[in-house]
């Protein structure tokens, strides 16, 4: 889960990280009041959860109340990658002398949390990482949020050449580490971390992503979710324990297990069809889930036929079959279903479907061949 | 021999009194797995399907001499369940639970270091050595003893591969579900090494998917060390590119984790990469010939 820059900035500030002073505004009057308090010039930053904000014109420096009024109106009218700008962060304009990058994430290949820092911060950090890997410094925490000692000293010296900023930088990195562990982040990033013309070091941007699996222990964080950025269908699917992603094709897919669901989509495409969605009904099955799954995927009117591919382990085939029979009566289905069921309670499932004149196919390849043929008619 | 599990493996079930734990204890018992005990704090003294329940792993280990633990507890308790196994010195820990926070797994991996304990999972279907022992949630009846070792990041897709092998008369030595999470206890390379050393295993199937770089690391190993044929299947060729996560992810993983990239490096390493699961038994019949049905293997 992602949160907006102004929310991330607040979490960093609470953890003792110096940030560029500012506040978020939803209307022009509020923005003007904030600017008045901070003192002009100020920078207006559109709050969106997608990248490429700067290039889309989502950041504007203004020198006077008149400029602010015009710029604010423009930002509010702006759409960045189709997302409207509802909130604008108003911050002091900083005269940047130096830009650093600091970030923290989990390096899954090392099973460890890693701090990443560079004296070459800013928007081109990824390019820097590609072209000049030496400019990127890493510090593995080895599961320990406490920092210090020789290993730390050599890391911090490799990023900040001035001893004064080694101390300041350590303070800020401590705050970053605190935020990361306190809130179960998957990413916490300050880019750029700046030194301004007065010699102050502070965070000029903030990004935090959270581990969805850990949200159960952070209700305060979960409440920050901006649902405008969630696909309505995908949110609804989640509510019923289904994992769903909409795609461009016309073959609807209902499968159990993510790996088999992906393989099913791949083989639909390799067989000359195009999948309309990824849908994993999850481990345990109940007939209701199948009804919801069908209803949600059929919101997509492009779908010409639906493939149900189930390999029952934990999932019981007869539960799936009951769901299909229910769905046919409840949903008034107008598209053909192509069903392949195998595994736990397969016989009961096939008998039930036969009684309701729903044909089943013995293998995945045959079922996929059939569903693609119908969809391509 | 098989790897990880055999007919003598003694298994305790953590979360045995829960819905999943209880159901799968019955399934494992009927497959012939030696389930010697269960653990649910506060429910010691009860029994589930005739299996005694203990309050702690340490107590269960002492009383039953268990060497293997399987975890079915809810995600929020899974870290403590694994740490308990590590403390008690259980050799093999298989964690079925899905949805465990990543930082919990970082902690568990830290505690595992240097202990020699093998963790499989989390978020995996478990391990089965057909005809000997099944520890996990896979349907036992689709398996058949034989010479093919399977390593997979997926659950049901593995069943599809196993079904296809068994249907064509090709049995399996051991099937290992590694799990679908970003941090897992055991990766492709670890199990490839075990299969290369295992007498019963004559060929290996790797079922991979998009994301991460474990298949690439496995390819490096295969290029240098493989002495047995490896067949690969990679799921997710048509999956839309994942949503990006800031810069740190991109800086850390400079590699290419698409299905196509993985297929290419595996082919480069000499792996036969197939498009459809049912091609797998065909490849082994060509590569291994009569060796496949040599009864002495089993």
Query: Nearest CB to B101: which of A184, A268, A364?
Result: A184
* pLDDT category of residue B246 using cuts at 50, 70 and 90: low
Last residue of a domain, one of A210, A229, A248: A229
Residue B113 in any domain: the answer is yes
Residues B241 and B270 in one domain: yes
pLDDT digits (tens, 9 = 90+) for A22-58: 999 999 999 999 999 999 999 999 999 988 888 899 9
- Contact A184/B102, CB-based, under 8 Å? yes
- Contact A103/B251, CB-based, under 8 Å? yes
- Contact A342/B163, CB-based, under 8 Å? yes
Residues B102 and B61 in one domain: yes
Which domain covers residue A76, as residue numbers? 21-93
Residues B115 and B68 in one domain: yes
- The stretch B142-156 carries a mean pLDDT of 95
Question: What pLDDT does B258 receive?
Answer: 86
A120, A158, A196, A201, B172 from A204: Cα distances, Å? 15, 22, 10, 9, 57
Q: From the CA of B135, how many Å to the nearest CA of chain A?
A: 13
A5, A210, B209 from B246: Cα distances, Å? 12, 12, 22
Residues A199 and A249 in one domain: no
* CATH number assigned to the domain comprising residue A112: 3.30.470.20
pLDDT digits (tens, 9 = 90+) for B51-76: 999 999 999 999 999 999 999 999 99
Is the CB of B151 inside 8 Å of chain A's CB atoms?
A: no
- Contact A365/B276, CB-based, under 8 Å? yes
Alpha carbons A264 and A241: distance in angstroms, whole number = 20
Residues A190 and A281 in one domain: no
Q: What residue in B sits closest to A209 (Cα-Cα)? A: B245
Query: Nearest CB to A126: which of B207, B251, B277?
Result: B251
Residues A225 and A355 in one domain: no
Last residue of a domain, one of A31, A65, A93: A93
- The stretch B33-37 carries a mean pLDDT of 98
Count of CB contacts below 8 A, A vs B? 177
Tell me how many domains chain B contains.
Answer: 2
Tell me how many domains chain A contains.
Answer: 3
Residues A87 and A163 in one domain: no
Beta bridge partners, A244, equal A279
pTM, rounded to two decimals: 0.92
Question: What pLDDT does B269 receive?
Answer: 96
Q: Are B111 and B83 in contact (CB under 8 A)?
A: yes
Residues A218 and A260 in one domain: no
- Contact A311/B163, CB-based, under 8 Å? yes
* pLDDT category of residue B180 using cuts at 50, 70 and 90: confident
Alpha carbons A198 and A292: distance in angstroms, whole number = 59
Q: Chain B residues with CB inside 8 Å of A123's CB?
A: none
Please give the sequence-ordered ranges of beta strands (E in DSSP) within A34-166, or none if there are none: 42-46, 59-62, 79-80, 83-84, 88-92, 96-107, 112-118, 136-140
Residue B4 in any domain: the answer is no
Q: What is the percent of chain B with per-residue pLDDT over 90, rounded to a whole number? A: 83
Residues A71 and A164 in one domain: no
Beta bridge partners, A46, equal A88
Last residue of a domain, one of A229, A244, A270: A229
Residues B101 and B153 in one domain: no
**Mean pLDDT of all residues in chain B?**
92
* CATH number assigned to the domain comprising residue B95: 3.40.50.720
Residues 52-91 of B with CB under 8 A from A: 75-76
Question: What pLDDT does B247 receive?
Answer: 65
How big is the CA angle at B166 (ends B163 and B171), to the nearest 5 degrees?
125
Residue B130 in any domain: the answer is no
Query: Nearest CB to B102: which of A109, A211, A343?
Result: A211
ipTM of the complex: 0.89
- The stretch B183-191 carries a mean pLDDT of 96
Q: What residue in A sits closest to B112 (Cα-Cα)? A: A111
* CATH number assigned to the domain comprising residue A69: 3.30.1490.20
pLDDT digits (tens, 9 = 90+) for A147-187: 989 999 999 999 999 999 999 999 999 999 999 999 999 99
Query: Nearest CB to B102: which of A106, A256, A364?
Result: A106
Question: Which segments in chain A show pLDDT lower than 50?
Answer: none
Question: What pLDDT does B242 receive?
Answer: 58
Residues A10 and A150 in one domain: yes
Q: Chain B residues with CB inside 8 Å of A262's CB?
A: 157, 209-210, 235-236, 238-239
Residue B132 in any domain: the answer is no
Query: Nearest CB to B157: which of A260, A284, A363?
Result: A260
Residues A3 and A147 in one domain: yes
Residues B78 and B155 in one domain: no
Residues A308 and A172 in one domain: no
Residues A13 and A161 in one domain: yes
* CATH number assigned to the domain comprising residue B169: 3.40.50.261
Q: Write out B58-86 in H/E/C secondary structure.
A: HHHHHHHCCCEEEECCCHHHHHHHHHHHH
Residues B177 and B291 in one domain: yes
Asked if residue B253 has pLDDT above 70, the reply is no
Q: What residue in B sits closest to A273 (Cα-Cα)? A: B238
Residue B270 in any domain: the answer is yes
Question: What pLDDT does B1 receive?
Answer: 84
* pLDDT category of residue B26 using cuts at 50, 70 and 90: very high
* pLDDT category of residue B208 using cuts at 50, 70 and 90: very high
Residues A112 and A183 in one domain: yes
Q: From the CA of B151, how many Å to the nearest CA of chain A?
A: 13
Residues B267 and B293 in one domain: yes
Question: What pLDDT does B296 receive?
Answer: 42
- The stretch B142-147 carries a mean pLDDT of 95
Which domain covers residue B45, as residue numbers? 10-120
Residue B221 in any domain: the answer is yes
Q: Are A269 and A275 in contact (CB under 8 A)?
A: yes
Q: From the CA of A102, how many Å to the nearest CA of chain B?
A: 9
* CATH number assigned to the domain comprising residue A287: 3.40.50.261
Catalytic residues of A: 101, 189
Question: What pLDDT does B297 receive?
Answer: 43
Burial pattern A239-257, b for ≥16 Cβ within 10 A else e, equals ebbbebbbbebbbbbbbbb
Asked if residue B251 has pLDDT above 70, the reply is no
Residues B158 and B77 in one domain: no
Residues B35 and B115 in one domain: yes
Residues A70 and A123 in one domain: no
Residues B109 and B149 in one domain: no
Asked if residue B294 has pLDDT above 60, the reply is no
- Contact A143/B107, CB-based, under 8 Å? yes
């Amino acid at each position: 889960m992602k949160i907006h820059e102004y929310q991330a900035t607040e979490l960093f500030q609470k953890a003792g990280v110096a940030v560029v002073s500012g506040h978020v505004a939803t209307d022009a009057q509020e923005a003007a009041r904030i600017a008045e308090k901070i003192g002009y010039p100020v920078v207006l930053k559109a709050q969106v959860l997608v990248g490429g904000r700067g290039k889309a014109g989502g950041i504007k420096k203004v020198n006077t109340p008149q400029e602010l009024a015009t710029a604010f109106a423009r930002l509010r009218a702006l759409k960045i990658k189709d997302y409207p700008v509802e909130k604008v962060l108003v911050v002091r304009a900083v005269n940047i002398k130096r830009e650093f990058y600091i970030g923290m994430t989990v390096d899954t290949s090392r099973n460890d949390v890693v701090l990443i820092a560079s004296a070459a911060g800013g928007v081109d950090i990824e390019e820097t990482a590609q072209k000049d890997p030496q400019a990127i410094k890493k510090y593995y925490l080895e599961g320990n949020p406490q920092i210090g000692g020789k290993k730390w000293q050599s890391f911090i010296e490799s990023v900040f050449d001035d001893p004064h900023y080694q101390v300041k930088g350590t303070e800020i990195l401590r705050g970053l580490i605190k935020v990361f562990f306190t809130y179960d982040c998957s990413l916490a990033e300050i880019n750029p971390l700046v030194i301004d013309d007065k010699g102050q070091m502070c965070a000029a941007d903030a990004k935090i992503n959270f581990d969805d699996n850990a949200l159960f222990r952070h209700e305060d964080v979960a409440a920050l979710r901006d649902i405008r950025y969630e696909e309505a269908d995908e949110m609804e699917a989640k509510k019923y324990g289904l994992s769903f992603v909409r795609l461009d094709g016309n073959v609807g897919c209902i499968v159990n297990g993510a790996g088999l669901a992906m393989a099913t989509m791949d083989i639909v495409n390799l067989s000359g069809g195009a999948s309309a969605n990824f849908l994993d009904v999850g481990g345990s099955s109940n007939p209701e889930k199948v009804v919801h799954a069908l209803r949600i995927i059929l919101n997509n009117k492009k779908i010409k036929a639906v493939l149900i591919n189930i390999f029952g382990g934990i999932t019981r085939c007869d539960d799936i079959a009951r769901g299909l029979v229910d769905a046919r009566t409840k949903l008034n289905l107008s598209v053909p279903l192509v069903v392949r069921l195998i595994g736990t309670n397969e016989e009961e499932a096939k008998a039930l479907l036969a009684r309701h004149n729903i044909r089943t196919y013995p293998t995945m390849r045959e079922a996929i061949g059939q569903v693609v043929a119908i969809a391509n008619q | 021999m098989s790897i990880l599990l055999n007919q003598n493996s003694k298994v305790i079930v953590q979360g045995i009194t829960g819905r999943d734990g209880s159901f799968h204890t019955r399934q494992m018992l009927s497959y012939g797995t030696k389930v010697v005990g269960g653990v649910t704090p506060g429910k010691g003294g009860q029994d589930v399907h005739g299996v005694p329940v203990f309050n702690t792993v340490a107590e269960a280990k002492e009383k039953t001499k268990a060497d293997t633990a399987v975890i079915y507890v809810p995600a929020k308790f899974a870290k403590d369940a694994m740490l308990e196994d590590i403390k008690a010195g259980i050799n093999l820990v298989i964690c079925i639970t899905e949805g465990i926070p990543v930082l919990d797994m970082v902690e568990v991996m830290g505690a595992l270091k240097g202990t020699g304990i093998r963790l499989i999972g989390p978020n995996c279907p478990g391990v089965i050595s057909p005809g000997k022992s099944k520890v996990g949630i896979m349907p036992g009846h689709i398996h058949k003893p034989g010479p093919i070792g399977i390593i997979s990041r997926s659950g049901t897709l593995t069943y599809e591969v196993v079904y296809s092998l068994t249907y064509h008369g090709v049995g399996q030595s051991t099937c290992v579900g590694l799990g679908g999470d970003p941090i897992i206890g055991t990766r492709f390379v670890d199990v490839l090494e075990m299969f290369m050393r295992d007498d019963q295993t004559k060929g290996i199937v790797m079922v991979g998917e998009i994301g991460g770089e474990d298949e690439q690391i496995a390819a490096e190993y295969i290029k240098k060390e493989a002495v047995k044929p490896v067949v690969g299947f990679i799921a997710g060729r048509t999956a839309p590119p994942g949503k990006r996560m800031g810069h740190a992810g991109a800086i850390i993983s400079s590699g290419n984790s698409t299905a196509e990239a993985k297929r290419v490096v595996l082919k480069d390493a000499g792996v036969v990469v197939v498009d459809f699961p049912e091609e797998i038994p065909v490849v082994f019949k060509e590569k291994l010939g009569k060796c496949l049905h040599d009864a002495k293997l089993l």
